Amino acid sequence: MGYITEVGYLVSAFLFILGIKYMGHPATAIRGNWISAIGMLIAVLFTFFHPSVHFENLWFILLAIVLGTVIGLYLAGVVKFTEMPQMVSFFNGMGGLTIALISIVEFFTRGIVSEVEGGFDWFFVASSAFSGVVGSISFVGSMLAMAKLWGIFESSKRSIFIRVFNALVLLSILIIYVLLIINPSPYLLVFLFIMGGVLGFSGVFPIGGADMPVVIALLNAFTGLAASIAGFAINNNAMIVSGTLVGASGTILTILMAKAMNRTVLGVILGGFGGTKEAASNVKGNVQEISVQDAAVLLAYSKKVIIVPGYGMAVSNAQNEVHELEQLLESKGVEVKYAIHPVAGRMPGHMNVLLAEAKVDYSKLYEMNEINPEFKNTDVVLVVGANDIVNPAAKNNPNSPLYGMPILEVDQAQNIIFMKRSLRPGFAGVENELFYNPKTRMLFGDAKETLKKLISEIQNL
Amino acid sequence: MELIFAKAYIFILAIILGFELINKVPSLLHTPLMSATNAIHGIVVVGACIVALHAHDPVLKIISFFAVLVGTLNVVGGYAVTNRMLEKFKRNSSDIKEKSGDK
């Protein structure tokens, strides 16, 4: 009966739950990760204690585990901190692929056996096909999300054609799924998974870069759900418990992120930024530039400065320079705080991770609701490569597609310095009226380079 | 059939637990947490091992070899990336402790 294996799974399920719980607090998070990793090790080890295990295939399984470990450690070790979201997306895709492959192998294996025993078990067919198709969606979708974040694919505009296409693919998946349950065939199963992959591609393809964090979180939840259903298919409790935990927690994360952007998850998938063209261009006025010298003086002689980091900081890898500037200003008696928007960057907490890498004290990081009342008493807000998250159109332009999204209210501050490469709109494709605000000065250039100049200017003051 | 219902209970309880565990997490931990849950669904490597253990056909052996390989990538890569993110937090909090200890 495999009692030993089941006991191992029970222990590992407990460790996963404990691990996630510890992950919820900064001080215990690293312990949580280790506890959950130990749970994983126990689950894998005890799988081989099942009495039904034949050891003839063990050599290549161990080879695959060793290879996977080496490649996984290598990839996780070399990835830059700014590229973490891509890496998470990649590993998530690998999980999805695994599920689809499990489903295929198990289906063919049972297919050979069932010629003797007669017939498939419908519950197995339904759960295994479902897990595999969700896994395929997650695999291809994650790979595309990764490619988009790496800039291999440009964010493209959505069109009615893609929506119709998606609807047709989804419909055909449902039809093939029903056909498969009625008349199980391994080849139809493979075809179903290919269609799942097509849906993963065409589903993620029209979604813009701004929504990628939500997409990755959603696909992570998908893989969790698929893992759980695959656990039902091959009757494995460890997969059911862990997969479901991830499916549920991933869904919560997805909803939290979508909410922070004033989007619904459905809106992200079906597309909400469709009608931006006519609403975008009611912005008038002149853009004022500021020289590095003037910016240095303005910052150094302020009482209070708030730094608003965004994706631009991640792209130019400027977190260390930001931290250096912060320390320099503090040494001159300026009070410096960081305002972290929940969706700044490409993933929630993205800015926190980068600033933590630069060893910024996290008592200086403030969440949106804590910091918003402070902007009106702030002398200078320094926006480092952020855009949509400070766009006042979200508050006062009902025609803007950003309308309703909670933002950092930097327009309340006395002065705003915008560090940006160009006047190009943000990922939402919306013009930012803050650029034209009389209080705003633009400091054009790459964030890292400009910050270096700014730091040396302030040092020379 | 009874077995399926027993598993359905596990399923429902795990959903509730998953929601409850995540609800009160500060946003600075969202990225590491997503990465950590990503590693946990690497549990599929267990499923990959199981199907690989009783694969007979050579083609199926090759497919299941890849299943175990990419599943291991998910697990090991997931935990390693999460650990790298969290190391930064750990170092920072010990910095803070050292600073306050100096005073």
Question: Domain boundaries in chain A?
Answer: 2-270, 292-459
The pLDDT tens digits for B32-75 are: 888 999 999 999 999 999 999 988 889 999 999 999 999 999 99
Who wins on pLDDT, A263 or A189? A189
Q: Beta-carbon neighbour count of residue A121 at 10 Å?
A: 14
Å between A220 CA and nearest CA of chain B: 6
Q: What is the DSSP letter of A165?
A: H
The verdict on B97 touching A (C-beta cutoff 8 Å) is no
DSSP output for A66-102:
HHHHHHHHHHHHHS-GGGHHHHHHHHHHHHHHHHHHH
User: Which residues from A are below 8 Å from B30, CB to CB?
Assistant: 253, 256-257, 347-349
> Given this model, what pLDDT does residue B98 score?
41
d(CA A218, CA A212): 10
> Given this model, what pLDDT does residue A427 score?
60
Could you tell me if A414 and A314 are in contact, meaning their C-beta atoms sit under 8 angstroms apart? no
Active site residue A446: no
Q: B97 pLDDT exceeds 70?
A: no
SS3 of residue A442 by DSSP = strand
Q: Chain B window 38-77: which residues touch A at a Cβ cutoff of 8 Å? A: 38-57, 60-61, 63-77
Could you tell me if A127 and A230 are in contact, meaning their C-beta atoms sit under 8 angstroms apart? yes
**AA identity, residue A299:** L
**Crossing angle for the helix pair A212-233 and A237-260, to the nearest 10 degrees:** 160
> Given this model, what pLDDT does residue A283 score?
55
User: Residue A53 is nearest to which of B39, B53, B67, comparing CB atoms?
Assistant: B53
CATH superfamily for A292-459 is: TPP-binding domain (3.40.50.1220)
Q: A266 pLDDT exceeds 70?
A: yes
The pLDDT tens digits for A382-436 are: 999 888 888 888 888 777 767 777 889 998 999 999 888 877 666 666 778 888 8
- Residue B58 half-sphere exposure toward CB, CA atoms < 13 A: 0
Instruction: Give residue A278's pLDDT band: very low, low, confident or very high (50, 70, 90).
Output: very low
Could you tell me if A230 and A99 are in contact, meaning their C-beta atoms sit under 8 angstroms apart? yes
**What are the tokens at A247?**
């499916």
Q: Beta-carbon neighbour count of residue A198 at 10 Å?
A: 18
Q: B99 pLDDT exceeds 50?
A: no
- Beta-carbon separation of A23 and B4 below 8 A: no
User: Residue B33 is nearest to which of A23, A57, A363, comparing CB atoms?
Assistant: A23
The pLDDT tens digits for A131-143 are: 999 999 999 999 9
> Given this model, what pLDDT does residue A315 score?
81
**What are the tokens at A104?**
């295929």
Phi, psi (rounded to 5 degrees) for A296: -60, -45
Which range, of A6-10, A121-125, A340-344, averages the lowest pLDDT? Answer: A340-344
Who wins on pLDDT, A424 or A80? A80
**Crossing angle for the helix pair A319-331 and A350-357, to the nearest 10 degrees:** 70
Q: Chain A window 30-49: which residues touch B at a Cβ cutoff of 8 Å? A: 30, 32-34, 36-37, 40, 43-44, 47-48
> Given this model, what pLDDT does residue B101 score?
37
SS3 of residue A255 by DSSP = helix
For A172-187, what is the mean pLDDT? 92
- Beta-carbon separation of B74 and A95 below 8 A: yes
The pLDDT tens digits for A283-299 are: 556 788 888 888 999 99
Could you tell me if A11 and A42 are in contact, meaning their C-beta atoms sit under 8 angstroms apart? yes
Closest by CA to A376, choosing from A421, A403, A344, A413, is A413
Who wins on pLDDT, A277 or A309? A309
> Given this model, what pLDDT does residue B67 score?
96
> Given this model, what pLDDT does residue A155 score?
59
Could you tell me if A245 and B18 are in contact, meaning their C-beta atoms sit under 8 angstroms apart? yes
Q: Chain A window 385-444: which residues touch B at a Cβ cutoff of 8 Å? A: none
Q: Chain B window 6-35: which residues touch A at a Cβ cutoff of 8 Å? A: 7, 10-11, 14-19, 21-35
The verdict on A217 touching B (C-beta cutoff 8 Å) is yes
User: Which residues from A are below 8 Å from B70, CB to CB?
Assistant: 68, 94-95, 97-98, 101
Strands A380-384 and A365-367: unpaired
| pTM exceeds cut of 0.90 | no
> Given this model, what pLDDT does residue A286 score?
76
Q: Give the torsion sign (CA, A152, A156, A162, A163).
A: positive
Could you tell me if A456 and A325 are in contact, meaning their C-beta atoms sit under 8 angstroms apart? no
The C-alpha R_g of chain A, in whole angstroms, comes to 25
Could you tell me if A251 and B23 are in contact, meaning their C-beta atoms sit under 8 angstroms apart? no
Put the strands of the sheet holding A415-420 in their side by side order: A365-367, A335-340, A304-309, A380-384, A415-420, A440-444
Could you tell me if A325 and A451 are in contact, meaning their C-beta atoms sit under 8 angstroms apart? yes
Could you tell me if A104 and A188 are in contact, meaning their C-beta atoms sit under 8 angstroms apart? no
For A165-192, what is the mean pLDDT? 92
Write down the catalytic residue from A211, A361, A379, A388: A388
- Beta-carbon separation of A246 and B35 below 8 A: no
Q: A33 pLDDT exceeds 70?
A: yes
